[in-house]
Chain A
């Protein structure tokens, strides 16, 4: 039981406060978005302590926040949001982004209805498994030279589109148009270059997946329509990140920033929170490399989507355009970004860390592409492989969280506990009885990713919906799952 459980103060049914008096050194309060049911899980590990630890970061404004999918991470909790004031000593912490820099979710629509393909789902899942490289350390057919790798770091998804792995419209449906400005390949180590060369267009392992889904419930018909989504539609979701490239960038910079703690006189209770002032040379270098990794991740998901489209083309002998396989949106959930937000009525440049949290811009936000100006940003929330996933939309109310919301279901059982509790063969057979076909590289992944190892995404999404920091548009159910 977390020692912080007794210190929580209820703000309302969906917001709880860890007062800054709870731990000496906290600069702001902690705010947890959760209901009483989810709090019971949150109390079981060290996540609340990590929310308190993040509140130590110099320049942090408003609060150290946690979304309802929060769980124990390293340094930051997974599901953490923290913004620092760049002009007032605000820091950036590589641990506040995590090792899988730019990890995120991509959702595609199709013209297929469930009825059209229900007898083909097993074969289609197997075809995707065979054509999309997945698994630990997976390497794909897209191998690039160092020169091209630095182009990927600068151009992100635009690199893939320039190679014919997608179209311009894909970029308009991607956060930052698929490439964040300010990436600097010269800030990336030789080791990261080495690890990134062979991994573009690969899914990876662990919780990364590729899923065929059916839209089963529409909550907001007007917005769903604007997103090109309708009930019964087949959608495809891709969850992946920057692979070994991003892991190495983070690894290099966490180590470097540990020495910054002394240099800049910063005191944090966990070395994994190592950080440096945003305007310091160390932070500028990290941000240059982090953006390169985020662009690598967007490009990776663009390449993965291309492989999905090509698989469908071969399987159905039809062009992907004819099958309506358009990108709805792609958004990262492990990233730090410089964004303008209002603090006490004044516009400030903040460094917003989203560590397992999703950006959720409201209608009319200047950084959204024209197609989502009226609706607000699509927000994609995957669940576990046995229950549901959601499409939400950003709201003005989320100004209180720097326009951030949850990123998934959130683990509740450790991988070791899941491995003891579940049996892979039985899990696969139980899922098949529910009409869900799973194909994975290893049995270990199946048990580690067992549905009951996660919180119920329905509970998580209800909290962000009811708190108003994003709104439900529709809910999907899984049909075919490819795991690494």
Chain B
């Protein structure tokens, strides 16, 4: 199975490099990477659903926006999101449904924020690749 994401080491913080054959896969894998840092996501059920509609000037900023939105939703509702369905992804716009449930006892790390530091997106021979650093 293709690698979904890898953890990047950073002195004070933590990052992920996410992969995907399509934009949908890339956005899914980046979100899964973020929630895996945050919590033990095993056994999370698809009880809660939110819809997300976002715009950004560039594709990498759209990815940052996506993660920021999911992180905000987690921070105010406690929901860990594990499944994502996309109605629309363009280089500057996204519409999606995220599903998950609360995991009060499985939280591992507080992610304070998604940063723009070393935020990167590129096309590779295998598809799409992006990296994001989180402030923890």
Residues of B within 8 A of A457 (CB): none
Select which of B9, B76, B78, B113 is within 8 A of A414 by beta carbon: B9
A353 at the A/B interface (Cβ < 8 Å)? Answer: no
Q: Quick check: B135 and A270 within 8 Å, CB to CB?
A: no
Given A194-B76, A444-B109, verify A416-B61 contact (CB < 8 Å): no
Shortest Cβ gap from B16 to chain A (Å):
11
Q: Quick check: A247 and B112 within 8 Å, CB to CB?
A: yes
How many angstroms from the CA of A47 to the CA of B13 in the assembled complex?
A: 13
Q: What are the interface flags for B74-112 relative to A under an 8 Å C-beta threshold, 1 for contact and 0 otherwise?
A: 011010000000000000000000000000000111101
Q: Quick check: B12 and A416 within 8 Å, CB to CB?
A: no
Sorting the interface of chain B by its residue count into under 10, 10 to 19, 20 to 34 or 35 or more gives 20 to 34
Shortest Cβ gap from A436 to chain B (Å):
23
Residues of A within 8 A of B76 (CB): 191, 194-195
A239 at the A/B interface (Cβ < 8 Å)? Answer: no
Q: Quick check: A254 and B116 within 8 Å, CB to CB?
A: yes
How many angstroms from the CA of A417 to the CA of B12 in the assembled complex?
A: 11
A244 at the A/B interface (Cβ < 8 Å)? Answer: yes
Q: Quick check: A416 and B11 within 8 Å, CB to CB?
A: no
A376 at the A/B interface (Cβ < 8 Å)? Answer: no
How many angstroms from the CA of A247 to the CA of B13 in the assembled complex?
A: 15
Residues of B within 8 A of A191 (CB): 72, 76
Q: Quick check: A411 and B61 within 8 Å, CB to CB?
A: no
Given A75-B117, A270-B116, verify A136-B109 contact (CB < 8 Å): yes
The secondary-structure label for the interface of chain A is mixed
Residues of B within 8 A of A255 (CB): 65, 68
Shortest Cβ gap from A390 to chain B (Å):
21
B70 at the A/B interface (Cβ < 8 Å)? Answer: no
Residues of A within 8 A of B65 (CB): 255
- A246 — nearest CB in chain B belongs to which residue? B112
Residues of A within 8 A of B75 (CB): 137, 195, 244
Contact stretch, chosen from A55-63, A66-74, A343-351, A423-431? A66-74
Chain A: interface residue total (CB-CB under 8 A): 44
Select which of A71, A258, A259 is within 8 A of B11 by beta carbon: A71
Shortest Cβ gap from A278 to chain B (Å):
21
Residues of B within 8 A of A415 (CB): 13-14, 109, 136
B57 at the A/B interface (Cβ < 8 Å)? Answer: yes
Given A251-B68, A258-B61, verify A72-B14 contact (CB < 8 Å): no
How many angstroms from the CA of A320 to the CA of B61 in the assembled complex?
A: 51
B7 at the A/B interface (Cβ < 8 Å)? Answer: yes
Select which of A247, A411, A412 is within 8 A of B113 by beta carbon: A247
Q: Quick check: A78 and B12 within 8 Å, CB to CB?
A: yes
Q: Quick check: B116 and A248 within 8 Å, CB to CB?
A: no
How many angstroms from the CA of A45 to the CA of B115 in the assembled complex?
A: 18
Residues of B within 8 A of A136 (CB): 107, 109-110
Q: Quick check: A272 and B116 within 8 Å, CB to CB?
A: yes
B119 at the A/B interface (Cβ < 8 Å)? Answer: yes
How many angstroms from the CA of A484 to the CA of B107 in the assembled complex?
A: 12
Q: Quick check: A72 and B116 within 8 Å, CB to CB?
A: no
Q: Quick check: A442 and B108 within 8 Å, CB to CB?
A: yes
A250 at the A/B interface (Cβ < 8 Å)? Answer: yes
Q: Quick check: A251 and B117 within 8 Å, CB to CB?
A: no
Shortest Cβ gap from B41 to chain A (Å):
15
Q: Quick check: B116 and A274 within 8 Å, CB to CB?
A: yes
Select which of B11, B14, B110, B115 is within 8 A of A75 by beta carbon: B115
Residues of B within 8 A of A195 (CB): 75-76
A204 at the A/B interface (Cβ < 8 Å)? Answer: yes
Residues of B within 8 A of A411 (CB): 11-12
Give chain B interface residues in 8-56, CB to chain A under 8 Å: 9-14
Q: A414-B9, A442-B108 are in contact. List 5 more A-B contacts (CB 8 A).
A: A99-B113, A100-B112, A254-B116, A416-B9, A442-B107
7 residue pairs of the A-B complex, CB under 8 angstroms, read A74-B116, A74-B135, A75-B116, A95-B117, A206-B136, A413-B11, A415-B109
Give 8 closest A-B pairs by Cβ, nearest first.
A74-B117, A271-B116, A272-B117, A74-B115, A136-B110, A72-B11, A414-B9, A99-B112
